[in-house]
């Protein structure tokens, strides 16, 4: 076979009548391939309605609406992140200025309960030799049971708790989801627990930037305050 014959054999000639016949037999073609409508160039011969053009415009309007919704969602997220940044920045300053564990707790309560609408907060210290109020203490067996379940891979846990764990951390609240932060260089100091009534509020896939920063700061701030408490 000559080169010219081979070339002709590989070429498929499709004229307008074949395309028109195919579209007539397949009126849902553009429903199955809506992306083609955005690449078609169709000229109006009059102001009368042309179904293909109307469909093209509809697709473009839907795309514009989708983009507007995405932009709105991004703006809402940006505003929320800005608000969180402001609240946490204010909290960090207060924690650095705290002169006692009670002041630390008051600052945490103000930020999470009042500003972030988190209904429950619990700060516990592990096996502390200091004489602390009962609300700050954790018995060895109870906290070890909790740690063995929730902190196998990380020093931060986000998600749900069992009924026994809820009663242990939040005896006066019905908490559906939590973030738990181990405190101390090796998690030996204690734990901060923040709870929410919404079961989907704290999830494992959430970003942990702010709470990690809080975890690091509390690990630095609390030991001197505990020493001060011991010498008082």
Architecture of the domain delimited by 60-230 = 2-Layer Sandwich (3.30)
**pLDDT classification of 190: cutoffs 50, 70, 90:** confident
* Span between the terminal Cα atoms of the chain, in Å: 103
Domain ranges of the chain: 60-230
Instruction: Write down the pLDDT at residue 41.
Output: 59
* Confidence bin at 47 (pLDDT 50/70/90): very low
Which H or E run contains 121?
strand 120-126
H or E element, residue 159? strand 156-159
pLDDT of 17 strictly over 60:
yes
| Residues 171, 120 contacting (CB under 8 angstroms) | no
Residue 180 — very low, low, confident or very high, per pLDDT cuts 50/70/90? very high
CB 118 within 8 A of CB 112: yes
Neighbours of 142 (CB within 10 A): 14
pLDDT digits (tens, 9 = 90+) for 110-131: 999 889 988 888 888 886 655 6
Return the top range by mean pLDDT from 9-13, 24-28, 95-99.
95-99
Q: What is the pLDDT of residue 158?
A: 93
Note the pLDDT of residue 43.
58
Is 175 within 8 Å of 112 (Cβ atoms)?
Answer: no
Three-class DSSP category at 178: strand
pLDDT digits (tens, 9 = 90+) for 24-34: 888 888 778 87
């Amino acid at each position: 076979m000559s080169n010219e014959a081979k070339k002709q054999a590989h070429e498929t000639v499709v004229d307008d009548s074949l395309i028109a016949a195919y579209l007539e037999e397949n009126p849902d073609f553009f429903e199955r391939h809506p992306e083609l409508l955005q690449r078609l160039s169709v000229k109006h011969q009059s102001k009368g309605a042309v179904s293909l053009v109307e469909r093209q415009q509809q697709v473009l309007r839907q795309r514009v609406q989708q983009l507007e919704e995405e932009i709105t969602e991004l703006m809402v997220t940006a505003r929320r992140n800005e608000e969180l940044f402001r609240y946490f920045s204010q909290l960090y300053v207060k924690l650095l200025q705290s002169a006692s564990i009670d002041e630390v707790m008051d600052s945490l309560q103000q930020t999470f309960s009042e500003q972030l609408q988190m209904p429950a907060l619990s700060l516990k210290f592990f096996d502390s030799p200091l004489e602390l109020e009962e609300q700050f203490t954790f018995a060895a067996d109870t906290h070890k049971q909790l740690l063995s379940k929730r902190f196998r891979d990380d020093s931060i846990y986000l998600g749900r708790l069992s009924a026994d764990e809820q009663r242990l951390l939040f005896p006066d609240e019905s908490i559906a989801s939590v973030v738990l932060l181990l405190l101390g260089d090796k998690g030996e100091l204690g734990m901060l627990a923040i709870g929410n009534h919404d079961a989907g509020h704290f999830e494992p896939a959430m970003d942990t930037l702010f709470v990690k920063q809080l975890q690091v700061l509390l690990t630095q701030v609390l030991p001197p305050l505990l020493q001060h408490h011991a010498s008082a």
